[in-house]
Amino acid sequence: MPHDHRNYFLSQSPAADELRRNADVILVVGSRVGNLDVPYDKYWGAPSASSLIHVDVDPRHIGVSRPVALGIVADAKAKLEGLCARLSSRAIASRGRQTW
């Protein structure tokens, strides 16, 4: 995502912390999921409040520091390309949201 995009947030910022704490679903790709964000709930919210989908090429990294609703062992680029292709073919109700 371009740094000047309106939906871009630095991962280590109060705005990003707020987004993570209030998200219904969080998609994490190629990260150990807040390995250094201690205490976790302060930065990521209560694990029961959102569903975490974690994609990583190394299965040992999935669910290490946060419980996951879905763990996917895959190459990040291939998985994201497949996900984008699949989603672009679907009609999704946006409830007034703008497309990127």
How many angstroms separate the CA atoms of 25 and 49, rounded?
A: 9
Other CB atoms within a 10 A radius of the CB of residue 99 amount to 5
pLDDT single digits (tens) 45-70: 788 888 989 999 999 989 887 889 99
What is the percentage of the chain residues whose pLDDT exceeds 90?
Answer: 22
Task: Please name each of the domains of the chain with its CATH number.
Answer: 14-88 (3.40.50.1220)
pTM: 0.74
Cα→Cα distances 7→21, 58, 59, 77, Å: 16, 28, 29, 21
For residues 44 and 21, is the Cβ–Cβ distance under 8 A? yes
Helices (H), ranges, 1-100 = 14-22, 40-44, 76-88
